[in-house]
A = this chain, B = another copy of it.
Amino acid sequence: MAPKGKSIYVASFSIIVNLLFCLCAFKLYVEGEWKLSWSRRAAEEAEHVAAIPCSGHGRAYLDGLTLDGKETVCECNSCYGGPDCSLFLTGCAANADGGDPFFLEPFWMQHAANSAIAVAGWHRMSYSYPDKSYVSAELENHIRTVHAIVGNAVTEGRYIVFGAGSTHLLNAALYALSSDNFNSSPASVLVSVPYYKLYQTQAELFRSLDFKFEGDAALFQNISDDTANVIEYVTSPNNPDGQLKKAVFQGPNAKAIYDRVYYWPHFTAIPAPADDDLMIFSISKFTGHAGTRFGWAVVKDKSVYQRMETYLELSSFGVSRDSQLRAMKLMNVVLETRGKEIFEFGFDNLKKRWEKLSNTLHLSNRFSLQKIAPQYCTYFQKIRGPSPAYAWVKCEREEDKDCYGVLQQEANVYGRRGSLFGAEDRYVRLALIRSEDDFDILLQRLNHLVLAERNSKIIISSLVGGQYVS
């Protein structure tokens, strides 16, 4: 019996040793690199929602609507429906209207681990940062570094102010540039056609004693003298047509607000760092986070900077600290590769879209696209072709005065009509920065339209030739 008893001892011993070993290893595993406490539940919630597939044609969000207070509902891309976004809505209109920058969404999905943030319940409850400002000093440093690396703006010796997107900063800039107007008459707010409509609606909404929207800069130039106080919006690259622009008005009474939100290598060559007196940037078109509402202005003059700060303080006590934290994290990811990954991703994506669209419309005599010349880009250190955020399409036929209507009725595509940019309705803007789904449907619809045009041409030419050749 002795050997049998011994074998039991050996077996028991081995069990105990193994258990201890496993427990020990397990404890190390959990306590070492992996142990989490209060943040685990939030992390699990985020991963659970992110794991809902929505068939690749939509996404679920932490704050999405829920079914019976449990399952989060998928939010589908345009033209997709059903509970899991798997249903293609054949007859739906293709959305090429809004500027949602979803073209960068796959980039952030590929960089999930680096770009996530976990926010504690007590994160930054105060109105201000330790220096009593509403501006995160770390984020300001990040912004200066980004501009230095990209080479798209001079920031040395310049002041930086934060706003809730470029929209908020446009208000602040208009206020700051008009409020030192000692002249009794309000400053004239001007812009070159075609222009982003918000400048006008915003300036008119505020009904200020200090400024008045007067519209087209070229028209105003003909009727005004040099003494008029002028504030000119300059969008460069321009929305809608992607051209790099300069202010029309110069001189001591002329001030410009340079809207530089598209001045990133995704959309344009960067010929040199911009060095305008007042430049506005935002993350909406840089990292693609329109919903975060974060932008900044780079300002040369101290008193203009101070007036903008006053405006931003009195209109909202600065920008949400949560937005600032998010912006900082996203910029961290950009900086990890000195912008290489995100700008190559963005540029490649938009260049391909532009080429596909150009190839399609090239087959048509009915539609034309804006011309953007290849140009040397100091960031990519090469001559690069166009990759604009928007196509500025012109209907060339005399009778197609309403280009928006033509595309809507004949291709089931809706863009944004030319008159919303102060131009003729013979033009329409098509957004190229939306999701892959949106772009694919847009392209497919335009292909059909152009094909129909070619087919009808063949039939007509056959008819004119007097012979049926089909």
Q: Write out the residue numbers on chain B whose beta carbons fall within 8 Å of the beta carbon of A126.
A: 100, 102, 290-291
Docked complex Cα distance between A7 and B122 (Å) = 59
Residue A468 CB within 8 A of the other chain: no
Q: B125 contacts A39, CB within 8 Å?
A: no
Pick from B36, B99, B123: contact of A43, CB below 8 A: B36
Docked complex Cα distance between A201 and B99 (Å) = 35
Q: B41 contacts A114, CB within 8 Å?
A: yes
Binds B, one of A13-21, A148-156, A378-386, A439-447: A13-21
Closest B residue to A178 by CB, please name it.
B207
Docked complex Cα distance between A36 and B33 (Å) = 12
Q: Is the interface of A mostly helix, strand, loop or mixed?
A: helix
Binds B, one of A136-144, A235-243, A264-272, A356-364: A136-144
Binds B, one of A309-317, A369-377, A403-411, A450-458: A309-317
Docked complex Cα distance between A72 and B142 (Å) = 16
Closest B residue to A58 by CB, please name it.
B130
Q: A22 contacts B29, CB within 8 Å?
A: no
Pick from B43, B121, B123: contact of A62, CB below 8 A: B123
Q: A63 contacts B205, CB within 8 Å?
A: no
Q: Write out the residue numbers on chain B whose beta carbons fall within 8 Å of the beta carbon of A311.
A: 205
Residue A326 CB within 8 A of the other chain: yes
A11 CB to closest chain B CB, in angstroms? 4
Asked, given contacts A10-B7, A50-B120, A127-B290, whether A41 binds B113 with beta carbons under 8 Å apart, the answer is yes
Asked, given contacts A39-B47, A293-B320, A324-B63, whether A118 binds B121 with beta carbons under 8 Å apart, the answer is no
Q: Write out the residue numbers on chain B whose beta carbons fall within 8 Å of the beta carbon of A329.
A: 121
Total residues of chain A contacting the partner, CB 8 A? 117
Q: Write out the residue numbers on chain B whose beta carbons fall within 8 Å of the beta carbon of A13.
A: 11
Binds B, one of A103-111, A218-226, A391-399, A413-421: A103-111
Docked complex Cα distance between A321 and B283 (Å) = 14
Q: Write out the residue numbers on chain B whose beta carbons fall within 8 Å of the beta carbon of A15.
A: 14, 18
Asked, given contacts A102-B126, A116-B121, A293-B317, whether A18 binds B26 with beta carbons under 8 Å apart, the answer is no
Q: A109 contacts B138, CB within 8 Å?
A: no
Residue A249 CB within 8 A of the other chain: no
Q: B333 contacts A321, CB within 8 Å?
A: no
Closest B residue to A21 by CB, please name it.
B22
Binds B, one of A164-172, A250-258, A296-304: A164-172
Q: A119 contacts B119, CB within 8 Å?
A: yes
Closest B residue to A130 by CB, please name it.
B75
Asked, given contacts A63-B324, A205-B310, whether A100 binds B117 with beta carbons under 8 Å apart, the answer is no
A427 CB to closest chain B CB, in angstroms? 23
**Max chain B CB contacts within 10 Å: which of A46, A138, A319?**
A46
Of the A-B pairs whose beta carbons lie under 8 Å apart in the complex, a sample of 12, sorted by A's number, is A6-B7, A34-B40, A38-B116, A39-B113, A43-B43, A47-B118, A75-B130, A119-B119, A125-B289, A164-B317, A292-B320, A294-B320
Docked complex Cα distance between A291 and B121 (Å) = 12
A198 CB to closest chain B CB, in angstroms? 7
Docked complex Cα distance between A324 and B111 (Å) = 24
Residue A183 CB within 8 A of the other chain: no
A228 CB to closest chain B CB, in angstroms? 19
Q: Which residues of chain A from 42 to 93 have a CB within 8 Å of any chain B CB?
A: 42-47, 50, 59, 61-66, 75
Pick from B63, B108, B323: contact of A320, CB below 8 A: B323
Q: Write out the residue numbers on chain B whose beta carbons fall within 8 Å of the beta carbon of A99.
A: 127
Closest B residue to A330 by CB, please name it.
B121
Closest B residue to A136 by CB, please name it.
B63
Q: A59 contacts B121, CB within 8 Å?
A: no
Docked complex Cα distance between A125 and B122 (Å) = 25
Residue A112 CB within 8 A of the other chain: yes
Q: A291 contacts B125, CB within 8 Å?
A: yes
Docked complex Cα distance between A458 and B158 (Å) = 61
Q: A291 contacts B113, CB within 8 Å?
A: no
